Chain A
Amino acid sequence: MPDKRTVHVVDDDAAVRRSLERLLHSAGYTCVSYHSSAAFLDAAGELSGGCVLLDVRMPGMDGLELQDRLNQLGVMLPVIVMTGQGDIQTAVQAMKAGAVDFIEKPFDEDVLLGAIEVALARVDRPDRAREATEAAHRIAALSPRERQVLDALVAGRPNKQIAFDLGISVRTVEVHRARMMERLGTRQLAEAIRLAVMAQLVSGEGPDGVGVS
């Protein structure tokens, strides 16, 4: 079934769409691209497999709104969200809305393809609960300070403000942040945030400053 290896790209930028088609084709995927959320929604009912690579920032209906609509329509395709660099807030929102992952533009091909592989492997609605439990276990291993720093990062606060809020120096924040990443076994902040969001899905408790929507 070709649909199993299909990636649905939704992005308003023609050059981005074109380049993703090129890359995904060369990597052996089927790629279908849509220039707007509306265009994808039109086709969504017919889709039987694959995953969705969704740009959050688009004119008209943006990526987050599209996620909501897909959830409402019962479209269960796994969604990977492409966000702007450092746009943690949007990433957290996308994760809460059910995205399996998020990647920051511009991204490394390995990150992209890795995320797609994970997503496609859970085409039949992955066991989010198990993944979330694991994330919660790892988060629980953090020291209180490291947990505070992670929560603040999830809330989208810059290091400087975290330092001020916690009454510590920026350098100390960076130390906590590095140790926290190490303990979670993540190399990128995005991964740490993904874990944090997953863990929240288990506990049902929102981190400081971010409500569960």
Chain B
Amino acid sequence: MPLTGVLDSQELRHSIRDLVALSTLPAIWKAYDPQQIADSVAAALLTMLDSEIVCVSLPRERKESGIEITRTGGISAESDSAIRAALRGWLRNGPSNQAASVVPLGESTLFLACSPIGFGSNAILVAGSRRSDFPSEAQRLLLGVAANEATIALQRWHAETDQRRFVALVENSSDFIGVAGLDGVPQYINAAGLRLVGLGGLADATRLHVLDFLMPKEVALVRDELWPRVMRDGRWVGELDFRHFKTGGAIPFLVDWFRIDDPRRGCPINVATVSRDLTAQKRAEAEMLHLNDTLEHRVADRTSELAEAHRKLIREGRDRELADARLQEARQELFHAARLSAAGQMAAALAHELSQPLTAAANSVAAARRLLAKGGEEIVTASEVMGEAGEQILRAGQIMRRLREFVSRGETEKRVELVSTMVEEARALALRGPDALDVQVRLHFEPNARHVLVDRIQIQQVLVNLMRNAIEAMDASRRRELDVATSLRDERMVEIAVTDTGPGLPDDIAARLFEPFVSTKPNGMGLGLSICRSIVEVHGGRLHCETNTGGGTVFRFTVPVAPTNGTPNAG
């Protein structure tokens, strides 16, 4: 910048003196905050520039520049607003170096000179005077130097503030924070760190080595592996046990170790750590672990108890199922066997019955052929004999039909049936067998109870069963009389009573008579009466037994009366 005026020696001496004075200010400002720095620079400039007003604007927290105006007595406060307006223009548009302005001030004029503080910041330093030669080159120079000095001071203040914040942060942290040289000697350890490991002060620490802070078992690992790794990779995070210097006890730490490099040269200068004491956490974890363990144990115990109970239940269930299945199976087999043996006996009886007409028919046909071969009068006889053969074949057919009806066990098919026919057919079946030969059978049919609505085959099974039981019961009896009598119980039911003259039922058997598998017979399976009762009950009737007054037993069962308009089924 060229000087427009020539400085005389006097002026030059003053300028040098002022510059020296300005250069001493920063030493004073070290302890000053920004406001104090601004006041200081303003006061210095008023004297040095022989100016009447100095304004300092510094950035505030609200981002609006506060303007500090320092003045001598010559300028009244009323001019402030005009001055501020000029300053705002500079601040708004960005202050250019060495900018100057003129502010009218009543009868006189105020000449202003401006210099920015900082680098492109919104802070300015302004000085003003009513003298028309203001500012001279020397004055501009001094203003600029002062602004630079203030800039440096303010920046240093900001840097120091940041540093103080960090220091406070580190000092107040509850974590172990330390910095060591590359040789492993601690340079700094925060208060919490010293306390945690039982050291009295930083001086104690700086006589030690990083490895001294570790439990012996960790030393080799850190020395040979972790420290080199931090140096190589820049960081290591993990758990290590520190040693308490007073008690010698282990302190678990989560260690974050990192390398600090010189920002300019990039080479490592320090190794630092921020490590967290895990004692409380470990204890909590241990407690939690213990709790978990005991809880797990308790849960495991309880679980195994439950599992055992469950297994037991399943086992019992399975056993019971098996037992049930076995019982069911046995019952099925017995039912099957009973049906088979009943059917087998029935089939044998009917097969014999069938063989009779077949034998007769075969004989007759053979005879007829012989007669036909003889010719003559014998042909008439042959015709007769053939007729007899035909009859026997039809008889066989009827027997077959009966067999089929007896063997087929279809759904209950109720029809109107004649009681007398049913009973007589049942008697014919029941009386087969040598034991029935000298049994005296009497049938009595009530005239008012002729028709019933039943499944004939099933009710005949009941009748045959009861009659067979009666006959077998009388095996050893002197008097062997079997009575079957029907009677009208009410308008709905017909009762059929089967009475024998056997020895009667023993009390223990009578009580359980209709239960399956109860029998008085040496080879009886005890299913007959149980099946009989089921059949009768399916018909809506009842089956029960009582002692015959004349000795023996009476079995009575009821079946429904056929509707009066029903027609009997030809059976």
Q: Do A and B come from one complex?
A: yes
Contact with A along B341-375 (1 / 0, CB 8 A): 00000001001100111111111101110110010
Which residues of B have CB within 8 Å of A108?
A: 362
Q: Is B437 an interface residue (CB 8 A)?
A: yes
Residue of A nearest to B353 (CB): A13
Which residues of A have CB within 8 Å of B355?
A: 84-85, 105-106
On whether the beta carbons of B362 and A107 are closer than 8 Å, the reply is yes
On whether the beta carbons of A106 and B364 are closer than 8 Å, the reply is no
| Smallest CB separation, A152 vs chain B (Å) | 21
Q: Give the one of A20, A84, A106, A112 with max B CB within 10 A.
A: A106
Which residues of A have CB within 8 Å of B392?
A: 15, 19
| Smallest CB separation, A65 vs chain B (Å) | 10
On whether the beta carbons of B363 and A109 are closer than 8 Å, the reply is yes
| Smallest CB separation, B85 vs chain A (Å) | 129
On whether the beta carbons of A84 and B360 are closer than 8 Å, the reply is no
Cα–Cα distance between A13 and B354 once the two chains are bound (Å): 11
On whether the beta carbons of B359 and A23 are closer than 8 Å, the reply is no
Which parts of A7-50 form the interface with B (CB within 8 Å)?
A: 13, 15-16, 18-20, 22-23, 25-27
Which parts of B105-135 form the interface with A (CB within 8 Å)?
A: none
Q: Is B388 an interface residue (CB 8 A)?
A: yes
Indicate which residue in B361, B381, B437 contacts A59 across the interface (CB closer than 8 Å): B437
On whether the beta carbons of A26 and B359 are closer than 8 Å, the reply is no
Which residues of A have CB within 8 Å of B388?
A: 15, 18-19, 22
Which residues of A have CB within 8 Å of B357?
A: 15
Indicate which residue in B351, B356, B370, B378 contacts A15 across the interface (CB closer than 8 Å): B356
Residue of B nearest to A15 (CB): B360
Which residues of B have CB within 8 Å of A85?
A: 351, 355
On whether the beta carbons of A84 and B351 are closer than 8 Å, the reply is yes
Q: Is B389 an interface residue (CB 8 A)?
A: yes
Which parts of A97-128 form the interface with B (CB within 8 Å)?
A: 105-109, 112
Q: Is A167 an interface residue (CB 8 A)?
A: no
Indicate which residue in B348, B358, B364 contacts A23 across the interface (CB closer than 8 Å): B364
Q: Give the one of B362, B367, B434 with max A CB within 10 A.
A: B367
On whether the beta carbons of B362 and A109 are closer than 8 Å, the reply is yes
On whether the beta carbons of A105 and B358 are closer than 8 Å, the reply is yes
Q: Is A74 an interface residue (CB 8 A)?
A: no
On whether the beta carbons of A16 and B352 are closer than 8 Å, the reply is no
Cα–Cα distance between A60 and B436 once the two chains are bound (Å): 10
Which residues of A have CB within 8 Å of B363?
A: 16, 19-20, 22-23, 109, 112
Q: Is B395 an interface residue (CB 8 A)?
A: yes
Q: Is A157 an interface residue (CB 8 A)?
A: no
Given known pairs A22-B363, A22-B367, the reply for A106 and B358 (CB within 8 Å) is: yes
Contact with B along A138-151 (1 / 0, CB 8 A): 00000000000000
Contact with B along A169-207 (1 / 0, CB 8 A): 000000000000000000000000000000000000000
Which residues of B have CB within 8 Å of A105?
A: 355-356, 358-359
Residue of A nearest to B384 (CB): A22
Given known pairs A19-B361, A109-B362, the reply for A26 and B356 (CB within 8 Å) is: no
The total number of A-B Cβ pairs within 8 Å is 77
Q: Is B385 an interface residue (CB 8 A)?
A: yes
Which residues of B have CB within 8 Å of A57?
A: 352
Cα–Cα distance between A23 and B386 once the two chains are bound (Å): 11
Which residues of A have CB within 8 Å of B391?
A: 15
Residue of B nearest to A17 (CB): B360
| Smallest CB separation, A168 vs chain B (Å) | 26
Given known pairs A22-B385, A26-B371, A59-B437, the reply for A13 and B356 (CB within 8 Å) is: yes
Residue of A nearest to B362 (CB): A106
On whether the beta carbons of A26 and B370 are closer than 8 Å, the reply is yes
On whether the beta carbons of B356 and A16 are closer than 8 Å, the reply is yes
On whether the beta carbons of A25 and B367 are closer than 8 Å, the reply is yes
Which residues of A have CB within 8 Å of B381?
A: 22
Cα–Cα distance between A108 and B359 once the two chains are bound (Å): 9
Which residues of A have CB within 8 Å of B361?
A: 19, 106
Cα–Cα distance between A156 and B206 once the two chains are bound (Å): 116
Q: Give the one of B360, B364, B378, B391 with max A CB within 10 A.
A: B360
Which residues of B have CB within 8 Å of A106?
A: 355, 358-359, 361-362
Which residues of B have CB within 8 Å of A23?
A: 363-364, 366-367, 370
Residue of B nearest to A84 (CB): B352
| Smallest CB separation, A35 vs chain B (Å) | 13
Contact with B along A61-103 (1 / 0, CB 8 A): 0100000000000000000001011000000000000000000
Which residues of B have CB within 8 Å of A25?
A: 367
Cα–Cα distance between A139 and B392 once the two chains are bound (Å): 40
Residue of B nearest to A22 (CB): B367
Cα–Cα distance between A82 and B355 once the two chains are bound (Å): 11
Given known pairs A60-B437, A85-B351, the reply for A27 and B370 (CB within 8 Å) is: yes
Residue of B nearest to A26 (CB): B370
On whether the beta carbons of B366 and A109 are closer than 8 Å, the reply is yes
Which residues of B have CB within 8 Å of A107?
A: 359, 362
| Smallest CB separation, B389 vs chain A (Å) | 7
Given known pairs A22-B388, A85-B351, the reply for A15 and B395 (CB within 8 Å) is: yes
Cα–Cα distance between A57 and B349 once the two chains are bound (Å): 10
Cα–Cα distance between A109 and B363 once the two chains are bound (Å): 7
On whether the beta carbons of B362 and A13 are closer than 8 Å, the reply is no
Cα–Cα distance between A26 and B355 once the two chains are bound (Å): 22
Residue of A nearest to B395 (CB): A15
Contact with A along B418-435 (1 / 0, CB 8 A): 000000000000000010
Residue of B nearest to A28 (CB): B370
Residue of B nearest to A109 (CB): B366
On whether the beta carbons of A13 and B360 are closer than 8 Å, the reply is yes
Residue of B nearest to A24 (CB): B367
Contact with B along A47-59 (1 / 0, CB 8 A): 0000000000101
Residue of B nearest to A86 (CB): B351
On whether the beta carbons of A26 and B352 are closer than 8 Å, the reply is no
| Smallest CB separation, A10 vs chain B (Å) | 14
| Smallest CB separation, B344 vs chain A (Å) | 13
| Smallest CB separation, B385 vs chain A (Å) | 5
Q: 30 A-B residue contacts at CB 8 Å?
A: A15-B388, A15-B392, A18-B388, A19-B359, A19-B367, A19-B389, A22-B364, A22-B367, A22-B368, A22-B381, A22-B385, A22-B388, A23-B364, A23-B367, A23-B370, A25-B367, A26-B366, A26-B367, A27-B370, A57-B352, A59-B434, A59-B437, A62-B434, A84-B355, A85-B351, A105-B359, A106-B359, A106-B362, A109-B366, A112-B363
B binding-site residues for A, Cβ under 8 Å: 348, 351-352, 355-364, 366-368, 370-371, 374, 378, 381, 385, 388-389, 391-392, 395, 434, 437
Given A19-B360, A19-B388, 16 more A-B residue pairs with CB atoms under 8 Å apart are A13-B356, A15-B388, A15-B391, A16-B363, A18-B388, A20-B363, A23-B367, A26-B366, A26-B374, A84-B355, A105-B358, A106-B355, A106-B358, A107-B359, A108-B362, A109-B362
3 closest cross-chain pairs (CB), A and B: A19-B363, A109-B366, A22-B367
